[in-house]
Amino acid sequence: MGQLIASDLIAAIEEYAPLVLKEGNDPTGFQIGRRDKVVKKVLVTLDVRPEVVQEAIDNEIDFIFAHHPVMFRPARNLDLSDPQNKMYADILTHDMTVYAAHTNLDKAQGGMNDWLAAALALKNVQPFNVTDYEALMKLAVFVPETHADVVRQALGQAGAGELGNYQNCSFSAEGTGRFEPQTAADPFIGQAGQAEAVTEVKIEVILPAAKKNRVLKAMLAVHPYEEPAYELIPLANQQQPIGIGRIGQVDQPMTVRDYAQFVCETFDLTGLRLISNEPDKLVETVAVVGGDGGKFFPTALQAKADLYITGDVYYHTGHDMLAAGLSVIDPGHHIESIVKTKMTALFEEWRQINDWQVTFIKSQQKTDPFTFIFNAK
């Protein structure tokens, strides 16, 4: 099994959620520790708080992956009577490396807002508040027909072949591959010095350019040939849109009030905030931005969303939403804790593909700072 170095895990994360996607001043990325550290245990969390760091210490964690950066602002001093500074000291004392993927993971295909849209059972999901477009490539690889299904599966698991609402998309054509192994070769088929003709399948898939290394690594890991033949071609056709959030349609129309109840049940909430002049209006189109997305509400209006879901809505922004006639559900920031389950599962996939000798642990700490207290009167 392969030893995992922190820099290798960071490279895999940044291939999945490239730093170029992050919002302006977001301090996402490498936070604390050593990039050259050997990693045997990884803790996956939404927030890095003192109780999470203690959990990491108790579990002898080497690497903490978080959605929210631990260092939003530079430390003004190193006075350890400050709980935040004490937490930094504990991280360094126990030789842990901390990495955060924040707004880049919010925007990434298959990232935070795709997870939230899926949890909300939205259909025909598209990026919301599009600001850029992702470069696409086509991979064509030649493989013996006996291994074509295995290669297709590996390509799909690595993120190739995703087109809109479809996945595992590919095109195959059968033909004859010819080669002659040289003396130093160790061929899967044939013998040195003898010409061979083999029935092969040409598999073609579309992939985001940012996932090129991951897809190639997955393909090469299962390809039987000593020297696989493949080609990568940049595409000039329309690229994948990139946006901070997602917009889609509900399975069946329901009222704003009923949808608010559905959100409560979906994310196991004891309460949420509803901003609406029309709580009985039917909802068909929903836009969602995890975290603090109040500033994007004008785009939800332009996209003709019946309902906008985001957290941390400010008082005056709520008034503006009402004046504009937009219904909004604020379920809080903590629904992004879905990152713990989703990233742990994704890391496990990467562990198997790369044969990493590492354990991934989902944090058991609930870091929501708010408790709802209901008036019994």
* Whether residue 206 sits in one domain with residue 165: yes
* Whether residue 142 sits in one domain with residue 287: no
Listed residues 203, 238, 273: the one ending a domain: 238
**pTM, to two decimals:** 0.82
Residue 369 lies in a domain: no
* Whether residue 44 sits in one domain with residue 23: yes
Contact partners, residue 253, CB within 8 Å, separation at least 6: 282, 283, 284
Q: What is the pLDDT of residue 188?
A: 83
Among candidate residues 353, 269, 362, 361, the one with its CA nearest the CA of residue 311: 269
φ/ψ of residue 35, rounded to 5: -75, -20
Known binding residue 67? Answer is yes
Mean pLDDT of the chain: 93
* Whether residue 115 sits in one domain with residue 250: yes
Confidence of residue 1 (pLDDT cuts 50, 70, 90): low
The mean per-residue pLDDT over the stretch 27-45 comes to: 97
Q: What is the pLDDT of residue 163?
A: 79
Q: Which uninterrupted H or E stretch holds 32?
A: strand 29-32
* Whether residue 225 sits in one domain with residue 251: no
Task: Indicate whether 192 pLDDT > 90.
Answer: no
Q: What is the pLDDT of residue 119?
A: 97
Known binding residue 333? Answer is yes
Residue that wins the pLDDT comparison between 182 and 342 = 342
The mean per-residue pLDDT over the stretch 168-189 comes to: 89
Confidence of residue 30 (pLDDT cuts 50, 70, 90): very high
Instruction: Indicate the DSSP class of residue 162.
Output: -
* Whether residue 257 sits in one domain with residue 345: no
Q: How many domains does the chain divide into?
A: 3
* Whether residue 233 sits in one domain with residue 159: yes
Among candidate residues 290, 283, 323, the one with its CA nearest the CA of residue 304: 283
Known binding residue 106? Answer is yes
Range(s) of the domain holding residue 346: 4-106+337-362
* Whether residue 357 sits in one domain with residue 310: no
Contact partners, residue 44, CB within 8 Å, separation at least 6: 65, 339, 340, 343, 344, 347, 360, 361, 362, 363
CATH code (residue 24): 3.40.1390.30
Torsional sign, CA 158, 333, 35, 27: positive
pLDDT per residue over 199-238, tens digit each?
Answer: 899 999 999 887 888 899 899 999 999 889 999 999 987 6
The mean per-residue pLDDT over the stretch 309-320 comes to: 98
Known binding residue 68? Answer is yes
Q: What is the pLDDT of residue 49?
A: 97
